[in-house]
C-alpha cells in the first residue's frame, strides 16, 4: 500500500486528537502517554515502572477507551497460574448427552492487556506471556490460537517493593519494546489530580480511533523511511552498549551485557512511530536519540561494580549518546 504526504499529515492530526483526549483525564505524564502511543503504533509492548498510585493502571485503561480496544486486566499474584492467563479446555455437556472439550479463553485474548504488577507472579506464570508477546499466538494442549489484531501488553511494576516479587528474566524484559518510567507529579499536577478525583464531576472519554485505523497506522509506521546513515547511527549506538566492544570506558567497566538485535529493532520501530506522530515519513536523528533511553534502559545488565557504585542504565545510555556521533565509524 502506498501512502501520500497527506495521509501522514492526517494520521498525525488524528494522533494529536488521541493525545488531547487522554489529557482530558490523565494529568501530566506526557512522556508516559507519548511512549505508550509509540508502542501501540510500533505494534509492540511496553513496561511501565513507577511508584504506587501514580496512575499507571488508569493510563492504560484510558488509552484502551480512547482507541476503542477491548481491554482486560490481569492482576499478577504469586498464586496466579498460566492457565489463569491463557485459558483452559473444559468439559462441556451437549444436548445429546455427550461430552466434549471446549476451550475457554483467558484474559490474554483481548486487544489491550494490562499485566498489573507483573513482577509479583512466579517465573512460570510470567513465561505464559512470552509466546503471546513474541508470536501473538497462544498454544494450549497442542492447539495454537491467534490473538486479535491489534494486540498489546502493557505491564506495570513497582520499583521499590521487593518482598514477594520475582524480577523479570532478561528474555521477558527483552520482549518489551520499551521501559517507561512514570514520574512523580509536580505540585500543580497533584492539585489538578485531587480536583479531578475528589469532586463530583465525571469525565466522559470519547473514542477517537478504532482497531481498523490503528492497524492502518501500524502499516504507515512500517513505510516510514530511514536513511542508511541514520540506520548506521542506530547500529553504532547499540554496538556501543557492549562491554567487549571497548568503545566507551564506562560501558566496559560497568556493563555485563549490552543490548541485542531486538534492541536495535525496537529503536528503529519507535523512531519511526515518533516520526509518524510528527507527521513525517522519514526518521531524523532526533527521533533516534529521543527513544534511545526507553528502548535501551532495560536491555543493559550492569555488573557487580556498576551495581555497587550505584550506576544506572540511564546514565550509561546518556554517555553512549554523548560519545557516539552520526557518521562516526565504530
Mean pLDDT, residues 227-246 taken together: 87
Higher pLDDT, residue 198 or 20: 20
CB-based burial label for 164 (10 Å; 0-12, 13-18, 19+) = exposed
In this prediction, residue 91 carries a pLDDT of 74
Over residues 38-68, the pLDDT tens digits come to 998 998 888 888 777 777 778 888 888 888 8
Q: Which three cell numbers stand for residue 280?
A: 513525517
State the fold for domain 224-323.
Answer: Helicase, Ruva Protein; domain 3 (1.10.8)
Pick from 284, 241, 238, 209: which is nearest to 41 by CA? 209
Contacts of 149 (CB under 8 A, 6+ apart): 111, 211, 215
Number of H helices, E strands in the chain: 15, 11
**147-178: per-residue pLDDT in tens?**
888 888 888 887 765 566 777 777 778 888 88
Q: What is the pLDDT of residue 64?
A: 86
CATH architecture of 5-79+112-120+145-212: 3-Layer(aba) Sandwich (3.40)
String of DSSP letters for 11-28:
HHHHHHHHHHHHHTTS-S
Domain limits, the chain: 5-79+112-120+145-212, 224-323
Amino acid at each position: 500500500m502506498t501512502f501520500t504526504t497527506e495521509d501522514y499529515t492526517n494520521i498525525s492530526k488524528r494522533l494529536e486528537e488521541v493525545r488531547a483526549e487522554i489529557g482530558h483525564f490523565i494529568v501530566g505524564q506526557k512522556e508516559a502517554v507519548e511512549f505508550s502511543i509509540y508502542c501501540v503504533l510500533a505494534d509492540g509492548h511496553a513496561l511501565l515502572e513507577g511508584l504506587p498510585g501514580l496512575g499507571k493502571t488508569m493510563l492504560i485503561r484510558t488509552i484502551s477507551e480512547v482507541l476503542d480496544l477491548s481491554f482486560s486486566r490481569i492482576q499478577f499474584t504469586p498464586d496466579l497460574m498460566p492457565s489463569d492467563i491463557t485459558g483452559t479446555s473444559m468439559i462441556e455437556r451437549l444436548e445429546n448427552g455427550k461430552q466434549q472439550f471446549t476451550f475457554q479463553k483467558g484474559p490474554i485474548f483481548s486487544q489491550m492487556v494490562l499485566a498489573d504488577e507483573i513482577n509479583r507472579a512466579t517465573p512460570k506464570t510470567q513465561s505464559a506471556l512470552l509466546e503471546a508477546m513474541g508470536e501473538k499466538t497462544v498454544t494450549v494442549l497442542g492447539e495454537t490460537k491467534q490473538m486479535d489484531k491489534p494486540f498489546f501488553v502493557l505491564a506495570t511494576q513497582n520499583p521499590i517493593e521487593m518482598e514477594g516479587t520475582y524480577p523479570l528474566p532478561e528474555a521477558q524484559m527483552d520482549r518489551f519494546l520499551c521501559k517507561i518510567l512514570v514520574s512523580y507529579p509536580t505540585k500543580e499536577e497533584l492539585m489538578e489530580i485531587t480536583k479531578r478525583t475528589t469532586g463530583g464531576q465525571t469525565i466522559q472519554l470519547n473514542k477517537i480511533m478504532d482497531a481498523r485505523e490503528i492497524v492502518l497506522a501500524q502499516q504507515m509506521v512500517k513505510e516510514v523511511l530511514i536513511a542508511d546513515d541514520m540506520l548506521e547511527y542506530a547500529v553504532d549506538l547499540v554496538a556501543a552498549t557492549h562491554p567487549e566492544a571497548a568503545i566507551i570506558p564506562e560501558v566496559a567497566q560497568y556493563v555485563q551485557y549490552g543490548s541485542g538485535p531486538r534492541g536495535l529493532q525496537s529503536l528503529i520501530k519507535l523512531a519511526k512511530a515518533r516520526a509518524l506522530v510528527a507527521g513525517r515519513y522519514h526518521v531524523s536523528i532526533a527521533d533516534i536519540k529521543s527513544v534511545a533511553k526507553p528502548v535501551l534502559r532495560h536491555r543493559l545488565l550492569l555488573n557487580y561494580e556498576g551495581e555497587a557504585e550505584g550506576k544506572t542504565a540511564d546514565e550509561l545510555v546518556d554517555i553512549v549518546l554523548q560519545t557516539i556521533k552520526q557518521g562516526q565509524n565504530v
